Amino acid sequence: MGVAPAFQSNDTLKPQPLDPAELNGLFERLMRSNRENNHGGSAKALAVVNRRQADRDLPAYVYNDLKREHLLRTGFVVFDEHYFDNLGGAGEAGAQERQAIAQAFGSFGAWEADFRRIGTRLGGGWGWGVLAFNLPPRQLENCWMADHGHEPAATVPELAMDMYEHFYQMDFAAFFQNLNWDRVAARLDAVGSIKA
């Protein structure tokens, strides 16, 4: 179980899952810049960190800084891949996804309101709103994340919303209307959250 790596051991990103020009209400230029510059830069930095960690002669303080950077860059790449992979759909959740989410939150609408509330609190700053599957109780929950290195322990991200400063003006309606629920459903199914 777990999240398949979004990147390879080098700095190669997996292919862009969508054409940003096809997104409804989200800024194509902003999406391209985020993917190529922010996301691509983190993938390249992660590759450098991975190579440098192999040096057995590093002083402890340098190695520890590399481990911290590894944590942050890995989180950046993984959550960005989830974010981009979330998009490119018509925004309509299927019956199974709605049922799995309603079971955890009381209703699909209650989940969406809470998820939007997280985004509103992060707007103008930085962080992530993440629908995650918490492994010990085996339940879905919404998580507020201040940065790339503070995912709640033992959770698997299912849906990610980027709320960093480069997206502070994001229209939540546009985000939701572009969600690709088939991809989210595949993740929910992988953790056993969807009941057949």
Summarize pLDDT for 69-103 with one digit per residue, the tens.
Answer: 999 889 888 888 898 899 999 999 999 999 999 99
Q: What percent of the chain has pLDDT over 90?
A: 47
> Is the same domain home to 57 and 117?
no
Among candidates 127, 133, 139, which has minimal Cα distance to 170? 127
Rounded Cα distance between 154 and 137, Å, is 10
Number of domains in the chain: 2
Task: Give the structural domain span for 110.
Answer: 95-190
> Is the same domain home to 81 and 154?
no
Q: If DSSP codes are grouped into helix, strand and coil, which group holds residue 7?
A: strand
> Is the same domain home to 55 and 133?
no
98: CB partners within 8 A, 6+ apart:
108
> Is the same domain home to 108 and 178?
yes
**166: confidence class by pLDDT, cuts 50, 70, 90:** low
pTM value > 0.85: no
- Of 86, 114, 130, the one marking the end of a domain is 86
